[in-house]
Amino acid sequence: MDLRISKESDVPIRQQLAQQIVFLIATEKLKPGQALPSVRELARRLKIHHNTVSHAYQDLVRRTWLVRRRGTRVVVRAQADIRRQSAAEGLDELITMTILAARERGYSLQELRERLRQRLLTEPPDHLLVVDQEAGLRRLLQQEITDAVNWPAENCAREDLAANPGLAIGALVVVPQYALEDVKPLVPKAHLTIPVGFNSADQHVERIRRLEEPSVIAVVSVSLGFLKTAVSLLAAAVGRKHSLCQVLLPDDDLGVLRGADVIFCDSVAVRQVKGPRVVHYRLIAPSSLEYLAGAVASYQHG
């Protein structure tokens, strides 16, 4: 076995030994059923204490990379069992083996990091990233998008993406139409940045105009920007005939809604405010959601 142990390293010797054996198994330099040297033989060869080898073997037996045979000898487990164990060990094990393989070939950790980042940036996306300056609006956009598109979504501010381009790794970036020119330069050129447009308030304005009696109109949202825009758009219809109140979640008291005749709620607030007076005020235009769903489907099936 080609094992290289450093007594000067901060990595414990037992860990060095165990992970290098895992790497030899994963790269098939140690074959299924192959016997490993005895504890004392390997300890003499590597000039380390036999207890260190014994503990490393015990750890690999526990993790089922190795199995014990008669006496004290251990052998490599069958390949099918190794593959199942490798999957069970998860991402950390895979990363460890990648690092060991890179070092084996003479690459530095910085070279590995940069190359891995470059590769990840060119990989097809596996989730959505909503980018906007206001946290409440990001949450609202994320909610409407995940309601319409069966794909995981995250969100961040523009300055976060500028400071950490790695946030775009594996992401299909979604931004409001007005922010496209600000965000697009922050996204890798190979990635698609999808702008979304917003609905008009025409149907909601018309609903208020049809009210015959003076009424209390409420607008409830998790986004201050959404709230201000909605109130401005409804203002002409409200006029002096009706009164208007605003509720910004989660801070404002929902108790003020008890006297409201019509309650316009965004797609997050509508999950908290119930009843026949509630009107769901959807922000993203259906055409934008359809385009986004088509883009996601092309990656899912492509």
179 neighbors 132 (Cβ within 8 angstroms): yes
Give the start-to-end residue ranges of the domains of the chain: 13-107, 122-199+290-301, 202-280
Higher pLDDT pick, 7 / 222: 222
Q: Could you tell me the pLDDT band of residue 284, with boundaries at 50, 70 and 90?
A: very high
pLDDT at position 131 over 90 = yes
Average pLDDT, the chain: 89
Calculated CA dihedral for residues 233, 237, 238, 241, nearest 10 degrees: 170
Which pLDDT band, with edges at 50, 70 and 90, does 54 fall under?
very high
What are the tokens at 154?
């995250």
Structure tokens, 89: 């060990």
- Percent above pLDDT 70 for the chain: 94
Contact 176, 263 (CB under 8 A): no
* Confidence (pLDDT) at 184: 93
Q: What pLDDT is stored for residue 62 in this prediction? A: 87
Assess if CATH 1.10.10.10 describes domain 13-107: yes
Higher model confidence: residue 247 or residue 95? 247
pLDDT more than 90, % of the chain: 63
**8-20 confidence digits (pLDDT tens):** 888 889 988 998 8
Cβ-Cβ contacts under 8 Å for 20 (sequence gap 6 or more): 3, 4, 100
Amino acid identity of residue 80, one-letter, is: A
φ, ψ for residue 73, nearest 5 deg: -75, 145
Task: Give the whole-angstrom CA distance, residue 205 versus residue 192.
Answer: 35
pLDDT over threshold 60, residue 83? no
Contacts of 198 by beta carbon, 8 Å cutoff, 6+ apart: 176, 177, 283, 284, 285
Structural tokens at position 275? 């009843």
Q: How confident is the model at residue 85 (pLDDT cuts 50, 70, 90)?
A: low
Flag whether the pTM goes above 0.95. no
pLDDT in tens, 190-232: 788 999 999 989 999 999 999 999 999 999 999 999 999 999 9
Q: Does the pLDDT at position 262 exceed 60?
A: yes
CA distances, 186 to each of 138, 182, 189, 205 (Å): 17, 8, 9, 37
Q: Is 158 helix (H, G, I), strand (E, B) or coil?
A: helix
Ranges of H-type helices in the chain: 13-26, 39-46, 50-62, 79-89, 91-104, 109-122, 135-148, 158-163, 180-183, 202-209, 224-238, 286-301
Structurally, at CATH architecture level, domain 122-199+290-301 sits in 3-Layer(aba) Sandwich (3.40)
**pLDDT grade, residue 25 (50/70/90)?**
confident
